[in-house]
Amino acid sequence: MPDEGGCPFSDSGTPPPFPFRRDRQFDLPEEYALARQTCPVAAVTLWNGQRAWLLTRYADYQKVLLDERFSGAFAREDFPTVTEARRAIDKLERAFVGMDNPRHDRFRRMFTREFTTKRMLALKPQIERLTGDLLDAMAEKGPPCDLVADLAVELPALVMCELFGSPYEDRTYILKCAAGRHGLSQSADEAAQSANDLVQYCRDLIAAKERAPADDMLGRVIRDHVAPGDLNREDLANICSMILRAGHDTTTNMISLGVVLLLEHPDQLAAFKADPSLTEPAVEELLRYLSPVQFAPRRVALEDVEIGGMTIRKGDGVFALSPSVNRDPDEFPDPDRFDITRRTNHHMSFGFGIHRCLGQGLARVELQVVFRKLFERFPDLRTAEPLNRLAFKYDSQIYGLYELPVVW
């Protein structure tokens, strides 16, 4: 008999408020492990009173993200969010990240050629150059440096400029528009304003590219899809804005978190430094262990669906919790151990199903280059403050660090 929402977290059986708190830097909220063991599809209550379900196990996560009875349409009234501000942004989402099929695939296909492994590897020399320049600037400035401001924020922003063929100087404005979007305490008006500003920036960029065509991602999409009439400029502006947002904060926070996690595990860091062939598995393990996107992917049930013995009712929200499924012992032996030599590592940090991350190849190249080069350049790098004094983003939908003072 399917259950209607018994709850492992509270004696009263009333679904508790979500999200939960992390108590320590690299530990997940303890409710995730509890749910995985006792009630892997667990009911929670959102800020607006809506009921939602957490998918805490790998198998349920994959099942739901392939199931078309769940919608990923951000603009729906019943689409689940963890804050009111996020609701305001979701309502404005016009790009394919917030669409169901067949519309999603129609738009996404126009961009897949731009994100192939081959194209991303072709960007590697530029990424190496940009990383080298930022590390040179850090060396020149001398310790202490803020690794967030001087490297982790700058590199993905410069890479996005490279990808879009936009001037490097524009990154400050792009960052301003993207900044704070994921904060849990941001107001709905602020969130909507920055989302609108970024779309306007993209409209202007498209107009500039049309005046001066170029052989970069935006130039090619304009030539192949806008010119023949199968993509209009407004849809393109919305997609560009979404890609700019998606490609920045995630990678930035992976860089800062990854540096701290490696420094906190000297044996793993020593192995990484000694063996360049560990670069790729180390980045996969960092992605698995850190899972910076905290409350995604999200879906809403279009009809009553039974999952893991629970009935998810039409209109209920679903949070497919990547951080939790990445610690599922049924998939990852000894899941709470950070081990850069892990052999099989099919983590879900980039999501799954039709919305799996389009930019994962680019993110991987950036992370592989930055961790390798950083520790080559500064082999004695260390944090200037103890772990418990570092400013972790406990209040953000993308987990990370606000600042990271380092010395060498």
Binding site for ligand HEM (CB under 6 A): 72, 96-97, 108, 243, 246-247, 250-251, 254, 292-293, 296-297, 322, 349-351, 355, 357-359, 362-363
Comparing CB distances to ligand HEM, the nearer of 138 and 358 is 358
Q: How far is the CB of 298 from ligand HEM (least distance, A)?
A: 6
DSSP 355: G
Q: How far is the CB of 137 from ligand HEM (least distance, A)?
A: 22
Comparing CB distances to ligand HEM, the nearer of 7 and 108 is 108
401, 257 contact by CB (below 8 A):
yes
Q: How far is the CB of 366 from ligand HEM (least distance, A)?
A: 7
Closest-by-Cβ residue to ligand HEM is: 359
Q: How far is the CB of 98 from ligand HEM (least distance, A)?
A: 8
Comparing CB distances to ligand HEM, the nearer of 311 and 360 is 360
Comparing CB distances to ligand HEM, the nearer of 293 and 340 is 293
Task: Please report the beta strands in 11-92, taking only residues with DSSP state E, as ranges in sequence order.
Answer: 41-45, 51-55, 70-71
Comparing CB distances to ligand HEM, the nearer of 2 and 168 is 168
Q: Which long-range contacts (CB under 8 A, 24 or more apart) does 173-180 make?
A: 173/201, 174/198, 174/201, 174/244, 174/248, 175/248, 177/201, 178/244, 178/245, 178/248, 178/249
- CA–CA dist 96, 72 (Å, integer): 10
Q: How far is the CB of 129 from ligand HEM (least distance, A)?
A: 18
Q: Give exposure, 146-175, as e/b (b: 16+ Cβ within 10 Å).
A: bbbebbbbbbbbbbbbbbbbbeeebbeebb
Q: How far is the CB of 249 from ligand HEM (least distance, A)?
A: 9
389, 383 contact by CB (below 8 A):
no
Comparing CB distances to ligand HEM, the nearer of 181 and 355 is 355
